[in-house]
Amino acid sequence: MADQKNNAENYWKANVRLIIGSLVVWTFVSYGCGILLRPLLSGIAIGGTDLGFWFAQQGSIITFIGIIFHYAWKMNKLDKEYGLEE
């Protein structure tokens, strides 16, 4: 019983760590690159516009989709590791 509880705690710690990491990346890309670092990225051209504008319009959305796939992949690995796969 104690081993099962410890297993569940470790699973949720890994899950929360993954969620926090995903939110940090998403915040950095959408808020950091799109707003705060935009003046620094304005000299780099991509697709006919500067990189800061690209992150604000396209990059944050593409990154968010990438984070969704990464989260699903890592959660599948965690589920198998802790014996919780479907």
Per-domain residue ranges of the chain: 22-81
Q: Which of 8-12, 15-19, 67-71, 82-86 bottoms out in mean pLDDT, i.e. has the lowest?
A: 82-86
Tokens for 3, please give them: 């081993």
Residue-wise pLDDT for 50-77, tens only, equals 888 888 888 889 999 999 999 999 999 9
Helix (H) or strand (E) holding 80: helix 60-81
Residue-wise pLDDT for 23-34, tens only, equals 999 999 989 888
Pairing mode of beta strands 49-50, 45-46: antiparallel
Instruction: Inform me whether the pLDDT recorded for 6 exceeds 90.
Output: no
Give the model's confidence band at 78: pLDDT under 50 very low, under 70 low, under 90 confident, else very high: very high
Q: Tell me the percentage of the chain whose pLDDT exceeds 90.
A: 49
List the beta bridge partners of residue 50: 45
